[in-house]
A and B are shown apart, each in its own frame.
Chain A
Amino acid sequence: MEDLLLEIKDLNIEFHDHDVPERVVNGLNMKLKRGEILGIVGESGSGKSMTAMAIAGLLRRHDMKIGGEINFEGTEILHASRTEIRGFQGDDIGIIFQEPMTSLNPVKRIGWQVEESLRIHRPEMSKAQRYALAIDSLKSVELEEPEKTYKKYPHELSGGMRQRVMIASAMICEPKLLIADEPTTALDVTIQLQIVKLLQRLNREKNTSILFISHDLSLVKQLCAKILVMHDGRVVEAGDTLEIFTHPKEAYTKELIGAIPKVEKMKQL
């Protein structure tokens, strides 16, 4: 029981911004152990990003109804106060988004953005300590010349480098959980592979649990030991990655796996 980091019980998310309430997540249950990489797989509109937002405490809107519980290290965070959630965000839970273009502030230097969560969660640190940590963090995501990158602006970096910076700033407080919401979708294939390898290494070295959200099954297969397949806000199937890939039980899972492009001629089919 001790190594359980995150447990979600019966999560329901409903939008009320239209005339008809729209249920985007429906009775979701999941568990994540310390040091585990869990993949959430689904197509757009399956509710996977909403689930991630709920865990990160980013779902706070008046036109929304949220039910269920999210236990993070024994604390219920779904209905916790804003101040309490702010204590978690960036410190114990880091998050990286799909679009590295928009998730960095274009008018601030890289260093400033990487240090931001230190400024909030480690106010006792001196400027020099922060700088040292930021450089370390940039180094750990395999950015060349971290001192130079520190002084650059986001537009001077490529997409892959930006995503590395995002990972560096999410990892700087050494969170127990890293939520990666489609972190590689906007990147080139060869860069995707690098980012996946980087996440794998960080998971190994720092024992960070990773929630990897993606629609790309072949990436998830490479990275995650366990997966959770979502469709229309529901969990279709969950379990061991290899088991699901070799013996999918549900029709939807079979369809998804069947849709992975294979190296065979469609023409002759």
Chain B
Amino acid sequence: MENILEVNGLNVYYTNKGSVLNKIVSQRENRQHVLKDVSFSMKKGEILGLVGESGCGKTTLAKAILGMQKQFDGQIRLHCENPQMVFQDPYGSLNPAKKIGWILEEPLRVKKGSERFSHEERVRRVDEMLARVGLEEKIKEHYPRELSGGQRQRIAIAAALLCDTEFLIADEPVSALDVTIQAQIIRLLLKLHEEMGISILFISHDLRVVYQMCDNVMIMREGILLEQGEVDAVYRHPQTDYTKLLLEAANIE
């Protein structure tokens, strides 16, 4: 199986933000080492789990892969176009000023040149995708605030997949949801994975959810990849104290 993503010796530094004037005045550079020598690869069609707590660099890694973090040392090779992301907070990931139908059509609307879709084609694709994520067509007439958290997350997933992607980063996609809804969304992601063969980088702090979803897992702490390997192997034989602590906190029996 060929790789869809290769990351080699990735280092990311944050310098102190602030106004340009501040930068001129204060010579002291406040450099933070956010990702330290991160290397891993991901196979096509794989679901890879990334576990770590807030501030460990998970989101920075996601941004770097998506090309939203411009400054880094090392190599990131992504063998696909249009990487997409599903965010943790379904309240923030949908534009509150727009109707669902508009939001879903937007990725199709901005396509240029020969790829340009007619209005009918856009509607057809949106309806098809709505059916796929288990929502009814009439939801298109609603605003995001009128939907439940679970529905919003389904819409976010649909919008990401409408971009015709093979690679999806899911950043804590179920952490903000109720438990019964969590299970539904996980099932949905697994179903879509099977049907469409997308590769998913699944970021989470919940080891149980990661176990359910993923083939392989990486444990990250303070910008360092502590462990990586098959889920079963890592869970059965944790190599570091931190992983043991995480497993204890997850209350795995």
In the complex with contacts A193-B248, A222-B251, A259-B179, A159-B54 CB distance below 8 A:
yes
A259 in contact with B183 given A189-B53, A189-B206, A215-B178 (CB within 8 Å): yes
CB distance from B68 to the nearest CB of A (A): 24
Q: Which residue of A lies closest to B253 (CB)?
A: A263
Q: Is A255's beta carbon under 8 Å from chain B? A: yes
Determine which of A159, A189, A260, A261 lies in contact with B246 in the assembled complex, contact meaning CB atoms within 8 Å: A189
* Neighbouring B residues of A255 by C-beta, 8 Å: 180
Nearest CB in chain B to that of A257: its residue: B179
A192 touches B179 (CB 8 A): no
**In the complex the two chains form, what is the Cα distance from A262 to B210 in whole Å?**
10
Min CB gap A194→B, angstroms: 9
Q: Choose one: B205, B206, B213, B245; the contact of A266 (CB below 8 Å).
A: B213
Proximity string of chain B (178-193) to chain A, C-beta cutoff 8 Å, 1 when within and 0 when not? 1111110011001000
Q: Say yes or no: is A75 at the interface (Cβ < 8 Å to chain B).
A: no
- Majority DSSP secondary structure for residues of B touching A: helix
| A43 at interface by CB-CB < 8 Å | yes
In this complex, how many residues of chain B approach chain A with their Cβ under 8 Å: the count is 29
Contact B180 A43 (CB under 8 A): yes
Tell me if B180 and A190 are in contact (CB < 8 A). Answer: no
Q: Which residues of A contact B183 (CB under 8 A)?
A: 259, 261
**Contacting pair A260 B205 (CB below 8 A):** no
> How distant is the Cα of A222 from the Cα of B253 in the complex, in angstroms?
12
Contact of B249 with A261 in the complex, beta carbons under 8 Å = no
**Nearest neighbor of B215 in chain A, beta-carbon distance:** A267
CB distance A261 to B178 under 8 Å?
no
Task: Kindly provide the distance from the CB of B178 to the nearest chain A CB, expressed in whole angstroms.
Answer: 4
Q: Given A190, A222, A260, A267, which contacts B179 in the complex, CB threshold below 8 Å?
A: A260
Write 12 A-B pairs (CB below 8 A) sorted by A numbering.
Answer: A189-B205, A189-B249, A190-B245, A190-B249, A215-B179, A261-B182, A261-B211, A262-B212, A265-B211, A266-B186, A266-B190, A267-B190
Using a CB–CB cutoff of 8 Å, the interface residues on chain B facing chain A are: 53-54, 149, 178-183, 186-187, 190, 205-209, 211-213, 235, 245-246, 248-253
